[in-house]
Amino acid sequence: MVDKKLMIDKLVEQESVLFKSRNPEDKKAADTLMKVIADLKGGKYDYKVWED
């Protein structure tokens, strides 16, 4: 099993990459990802993370 905090940290990294993009679609995806990250941190979803 992978640490949930590590998963959230990786998602935050991806969010910052998307925000730096000049593509407007990437910025929309970053906004959505920001909402998902907030929900994950807030405990809205019960989830388990596995490593391949």
C-alpha distance across the termini of the chain, in Å: 9
Do residues 36 and 11 lie in contact, with contact meaning Cβ atoms separated by under 8 Å?
yes
Tell which phi-psi region holds residue 7, choosing left (phi > 0), alpha (psi between -120 and 50) or beta: alpha
What is the pLDDT at residue 33? 95
What is the pLDDT at residue 1? 52
How far apart are alpha carbons 12 and 25 in whole angstroms?
17
pLDDT (tens digit per residue) in 3-28: 788 888 999 999 999 999 999 999 99
